[in-house]
Each structure stands twice: as C-alpha cells, then as structure tokens.
Amino acid sequence: MRAPIAAALACLLTAGAATTASAQTKINIGIVTNPSFVHTRAANAFKACLDKQVPGKFDVVVHHSAVLGSETQVLQQIQLGTTQMSVSTTGPVEAFVPEIKALEMPFLFPSYEAADKVLDGPIGADLKKRFEKSGFVALSFLDNGFRNVTNSKRDVKEPSDLKGLKIRTMEAPTHLAIWRALGANPTPMAWPIFTQLQQGVIDGQENPIAVIHAAKLPEAGQKYLSLTRHVYSALVFVANKRFVDNQPEAERKALQQCAQTAALEGRSFIRDNERQQLAELKAQGMQVDENPDLAAFRKATQPVIDSLSGDTKKLVEQIRATVQ
C-alpha cells in the first residue's frame, strides 16, 4: 500500500509544483553587457528584490552579453512584447523616444548630484511619460557615469587631436553629431566592440570609467584615456507598457519599487568604484590625461545644443535651470 500511496503523493507534489511554476509570470530582461557591468548588476538586483517582495510571482531571466541582440534590437523586442524589460543606455532609446536626447547633450550635467536632481524630479517624471506613446514604461533611471574618450594612437588634449581618429559611438544621431563636431570620424557600432578595437577596425571609443574598466579595454590596445566627461551616460530600466499595465496592483507596485531599488544600487556601484577603477586602468598601462582642454571641447560641441528645437530644446533649458 505504501508504494502506491507514495507514488500518488509524488504525483500530487509534482502537479502542485507544476501549477506553482505555471503561475509564475516570465520576465525576460535583455542586456548587452556581461555580468561585471552595472546594467547586468542592476538587472540581477531587480530580480533579487522581486523574489523577496513577491516570492513566487515572477520568473526573472537575465539574458546578458547581448545574447538577445543589440540594445536597439532589444528595445524593438520590448515594443513587440517578446522581451519584457531591459536596462539600456539612453542613446539607442532616441530612435523611439526622441526627447530623451536632451539627456545626451554635451557638458549639460556638472555632477552626479545634479543628474540625480533632474532625473528624480519633475523633469525625470516628464521624460518617463514620454516613453508611453512608444509602448514603453520607464521604471527608473540610473547611470554608467560620465563618458570619456580612449584611443590607441595618441593623447587627446583638445578637439584637434581627434582629427582622423575612427571613434566608435553608440547608434544614436546625437552622439554622431557630437563627434563630428569634435572633428573625429565617428563610427556607429553596437556593443561589444573589444574585437573591433583589438583588430584596429576602429581607433577608439568613448565610455565611462566603469565601462572602460569592465570591458578591459587596455587589453584591446586602448593606450590613451582623456577625462573629457563630455556626456552624462544615463541608463533606463525600460519595460513593455502592456506587460506592466496587465499586472495586478501588488505586482505592478513591486515592479516599480524594485526597479528603483536596483537603480539606486546601480548608482552607488558606479560612484563608489570609479576612483579605484581609474587607478587600476593606470596600473594596466593606460596613459590618462586628467586635464584636457574642456573649454575647447565645450566650444566645439555647442552647435549640437544650438541645433535643438521644440520640446527637446525646452527640456535642455529646464535641465540647465535646475542644475545651476
């Protein structure tokens, strides 16, 4: 008797487990970076937070290292609903939410504190609303840090030093415009770019310290780093709007709260580690120019800001008024 009873009990437990598993809502998060980058760290923090706040409700799978494609491709998947979420740089978002390029303007944010004030305030709330018309929900903002330029050829002290250099940029019109204004030869390219740098397809790239460090760019032949801090590199925790709207109230609230928790953890990771990461890059042989001619860089890129119009121009004016 015991064997049949045990077998029956096992079947019941298996059925129960299957029912529990089937009740979970799948969340696929597409990330282009590997687990050492803040994008993936934030996604994993989001998963851990959800597991704690609403245990058993969601099955979160973080697809890192661009296995689902480039950031643009992942954003397209989110629009279609085949992927539910991403932690994306805002550059590629420009193709879907044009006003986001306000955050990409050169030398707009003087500090992390200024960026937080903007993104956690009314301007950030306004930007989040603009995602909805394209089928997205912007759950929270975090960042990569401030972007700096590296290359394999020479020290970059002023814009004229960039002449002829093939600099990889994100696939975003604003970033192409910035680097054309600086006199470089901008080359839009999806991440990752280690092989292209190593093989000399491109001479350099521009990214925050955290990215340069995590991507091990000195090993790809990047010898020179100039601390231009030309653009604040915002990230956004973005989701499919229909997916979020269809969740019960408690789960929807958890999605929002955990995205914000993950964003705060991501910000802390970037800021707490930047100085040490820079020291390690120097130890790896990178020649770091800590005092490039920022006035010359600002002057060269001012036409990019002057070319703005409409809502984006108004947003930049609001940001400037907020951070002054």
Write the pLDDT tens digit of every residue in 79-123. Answer: 999 999 999 999 999 999 999 999 999 999 999 999 999 999 999
The whole-number average pLDDT for the span 43-71 is: 97
Is residue 20 predicted with pLDDT exceeding 70?
no
Would you mind telling me the total number of residues written for the chain in this entry?
A: 324
pTM, two decimal places? 0.91
Q: Does 102 fall in a domain?
A: yes
Domains of the chain: total: 1
Q: Does 1 fall in a domain?
A: no
Tell me, what's the pLDDT at 15?
38
Distance CA 130, CA 27 (A): 23
Structure tokens that stand for 26 in this block: 């799948």
Q: Does 125 fall in a domain?
A: yes
Domain of 90, in residue numbers: 22-323
Tell me, what's the pLDDT at 4?
42
Is residue 2 predicted with pLDDT exceeding 80?
no
- pLDDT bracket for residue 220 (50, 70, 90): very high
| β pairing state of 232-240 and 136-151 | antiparallel
pLDDT per residue as tens digits for the range 119-149: 999 999 999 999 999 999 999 999 999 999 9
- pLDDT bracket for residue 19 (50, 70, 90): very low
Q: Does 9 fall in a domain?
A: no
The whole-number average pLDDT for the span 201-216 is: 97
Tell me, what's the pLDDT at 23?
81
Q: Does 2 fall in a domain?
A: no
Q: Does 167 fall in a domain?
A: yes
Please report, for the domain that includes residue 103, its CATH number. 3.40.190.170
Distance CA 289, CA 286 (A): 10
The whole-number average pLDDT for the span 56-63 is: 98
Quick check: 33 and 191 in contact, CB under 8 A?
yes
pLDDT per residue as tens digits for the range 141-182: 999 999 999 999 999 999 999 999 999 999 899 999 999 999
Q: Does 11 fall in a domain?
A: no
Tell me, what's the pLDDT at 222?
98
- pLDDT bracket for residue 77 (50, 70, 90): very high
Tell me, what's the pLDDT at 56?
96
The whole-number average pLDDT for the span 223-240 is: 98
Q: Over pLDDT 70: what percentage of the chain? A: 93
Average pLDDT, the chain: 93
Q: Does 277 fall in a domain?
A: yes
Tell me, what's the pLDDT at 319?
98
SS (H, E, C) the chain: CHHHHHHHHHHHHHHHHHHHHHHCEEEEEECCCCCCCHHHHHHHHHHHHHHHHCCCCEEEEEECCCCCCCHHHHHHHHHHCCCCEEEEEHHHHCCCCHHHHHHHCCCCCCCHHHHHHHHCCHHHHHHHHHHHHHCEEEEEEEEEEEEEEEECCCCCCCHHHHCCCEEEECCCHHHHHHHHHCCCEEEECCCCCHHHHHCCCCCEEEEEHHHHHHCCHHHHCCCEEECCCCCEEEEEEEEEHHHHHCCCHHHHHHHHHHHHHHHHHHHHHHHHHHHHHHHHHHHCCCEEECCCCHHHHHHHHHHHHHCCCHHHHHHHHHHHHHHC
